[in-house]
Structure 1
């Protein structure tokens, strides 16, 4: 049977397309995905080695059809094929079909045993469905040629399905028809389709209670028609619960008095008071304007401010829920960088002569509407993402701030809908559960709720508006039900289920909470990367032994003035207190031209990654740097706090930063303010120059932490965000591994320890290599911790050293990866 490979710039999108396809073919077709790249800061991209691994995972002599989204996906797929053995290459086919529609069509065609040529043809014809529905005038020339079956047998079938012959029942129809040799057609009014073509059947647009006429001609025609009738009698395989699944705006109805149903989005039980969250932006008013250039500049500024917020959200989300889920915000950033969207808004301003707010609102709504008209639940759900980024820009244009979700009392959040931005800011300690009127299980907010571990139900309808703040409800996210003011018996049942569920979750996490010790009893410290104090509880739940990287940018971005020393001190102290005696490494501000601060004139840089950023920026701005150092030193008093400087490239920079620490200590002592007099000072090893002089830096630092993301980018001279060279920015590059080895050797020679806090640290495939190279500490996003700890417990130090030595001898990251996957 033909297999499929899905290649997308987004891991989330690739997984969503795979899920849709697998729902249609129910495991009959082998489908693999190669989505995104392993870089938490820039996860949007494609990786040839991922594509090659996906092809090898589902290889079939019948053929492998590779479907891609755009741009570098094709280049990565072509490169992947070149790496394959010649006998495999000849059975791999790159398909020019549209990714989502093509995959659906290819999956169905493959499931019925069609040849690779038939699968390719069906996939390439997949756009006919969309053309027929959105622009039928363009579909006339593409009407399928009809075969004369006037002498065939016919049957009439009334379609009972509430949603008609939508994707899955259409797939079952085609699969059933394809089991027979007879030529078959299906007719709806004047429209005729090949009964064995998923695209043609879907294009008919069959709705509930429509009558279709099926004609068959051939020796087994009677059997074929009988099979179709039997399928129709079974509701074309649809169960009642299937029909509403994944709908973009499903409305629930009460199951019984006091018990309401919705769409399950995130499992778990919650019991608590209601908190109604219904933020509203002022109505956008349309005004005629004279200075069009001024309005356009106003919009450009608002978009830039919104993108800065999104980048901050992304950083926080990576630390809190991992790079895969955080990729949502990379997609949001891409929405705002879309020249078509910006050009549309600009055109409205200049042609219609209206204000920036009205022009932007009009452009965003038009874009969202296009998503809603796509005949695919997953893509329809993306309209919410477009509106989310649109609302963010409007908030800047209108100078409105969204209300806080930092609740004082743990509550169940009730809302019309939640944007991904809202969801990412939720604190699982105070948000017990989520109920929303709109949305589907494939919405990004649902995905984020699952990643955060918050029970959630979506698609509950307007009945939620009847709930009052403080009203007690129970919620079961696994079955999608809430109980309004539950009775004593209902409450007891919910409490028992909650207890059982928590116990199961706790048992799974207990193993991760144990220290990571190799088979020969060497302890490797496994800690978390976080973006705010709120991330600590999640990190500890996943088994973090401390914090190896506390990104402090969240305090400085999305505001008009720099944070005060007291505000910073409170945040750092709060984080350290939550960790109790566990270590926390606080990285000083790492901003530059790529992360602008509105209250500082940073100027524009053509290449901010090679510009005024990190420690360079801080040393030149003591009015920003000194208050942060003061706050960190104060927070370290009687706590296990360490300070770390980013982007150090010379010994002079480190000495200057240390002198500023010493000067601040003298000031605090003179002021008789408590502070840590012996705080450890470390640096990030992120640039090749730091590796080259690691022996000198080790004399000045108490520890090193290797940032493999930037170290890889600078070593390979490859921008992670540039699709043409993104494949080079792979932390498994032998050159990068050798730099890690060199850094560790210099550090250990000076008796200081070394950690890794880049994405490579959370890659469990690389764990043995890093430990074998002598790395003492691994820091990562919290969800990666259990897998890395499991790896550490699986080898001895000698085995890890042999693994590292072999990896160092490889001549490419692909060769390293292949070796590690054995």
Structure 2
């Protein structure tokens, strides 16, 4: 580790003449809660904005209401005139500079009409914010009246930086071309996590920009907070020694959908003219109302019928102390609690993978990414350094981020607020030792709650819970995804009066229709049970034919084989009548580990998968397919222009032949376990790729001298 450099101070002069105000008092949570960064607010008395520091104009909003300057120290200073002034579309603003221009203290930046802004905007308060606040250790704002360019508005102490970080501060700023986001549901949790992970590989300061808004590209929560929808136009800016490489890799990742399968964008979106963001309509504050006192409406979240008695689930609030004496001790407490939560989440993810629940496992992998979010941690640490206790600071930080997401118009992204609260609550319990007691549930329980977290849902006892309804959430939430994987009927967004139903009352929950019925007669319940029985009988008939061959009407047999990620998948496929395995994704053996699996470990897994099949059935093992969106910590791949089509799949094995050779030997060792083994080399681009891979396999076969057929 390099020795840190000596901290230095930076002075920000007043960017305009006016009265200083604490930024915490600004009537806008984005600034007041320092989501954009640390800074100050000024109530202007004169309509001219000047440069508070020497630097370069790196961003100028088209409407003229905001400008960003990068100082010689690498600080990015955003000055935002008024609140909600973007809606004025440039009226009342006269820009005096252009992007790329070098400025010094006192140089005019923007002239603005105080009367026009006062009449048309929410407030005249002007914010000066350091958007890369992770680079400052403290800020000391001035008070009272200040004069533009003549008096100090704030003094900043730079954070201690290691040499590699100091190098990142220097250099020029790079910007990508405009990129149209191809993801059908925008940059939700999983693509946001992929993008943030790629960004974390670089020392450069990287921002994702959408219109006038920007986010730390290393922060999954900040990326989601941009509410980027399908076909939205975004750009990436980066500053630092590896900025150019970062721009290249992240741009390509965005174009490729950050690991998601994305259909082509609609015709006409590929031009370079500005396009409006595609937004979903804001959710109604009140959901559908039935008008029938015995029928409650909601959103169908997980199909199926549940007949049972109500249990109202409530979460107890955790009590925390606001202040603490030793901020160093509080930081250590927070770090320790986060580490323990990460271990729990990692164990949960691995358990779900073994249970053949990749969708659920991916949710808790994303939760681990949230815990590593730099902006979330910075917000908590900032409060701790100001004398707050670790539990108080952490609760404030995760609630701030959750509230930010919950306020978005995009239903999917707003739903991820629940994930942030789930992760936050997990750490808070670790910090305080206060844990919610698990209620004793009877068989045939219908849970009703204001909301459930993914962790709550994943731990539901399917033998007792026959359905649940929540007042919050939607069909695309992670809670709904888990409910569907558990085959638990669920209704989201249920009418609020559901929370008033007494415990023990008999109800019928229909997760297919999104309804909850009350006060049913015995005859009505009998009819519903009959419907359940008929559905079960139909399923049983279908199950009885699972081992019959799939034959077309003209007499051709079609082999039905499974796509699996592990031994449990193979066993489950056999219970469903699969005639073999068409693809074993072998990377599951390599992922979630600190080092590569040994030859013996791999051979054992492949043999177990083979034994799960019937003798002679095909088992196609795909060799390791990583790179791009599936990096491994112990198998570093250098940044490249197109990581998704570059060193990926078989090309990883060709560049690191011992990895491929070890896997080939492991496959050969499992050849006599029962199934008929086949090998697939992924991402073959040329005939030479195949020939080289096949040659390696043949060489290893000759070395082990096996006669087994593969």
TM-score (norm 2): 0.45
The structure with the greater share of residues assigned to helix is 1
TM-score by length of 1: 0.40
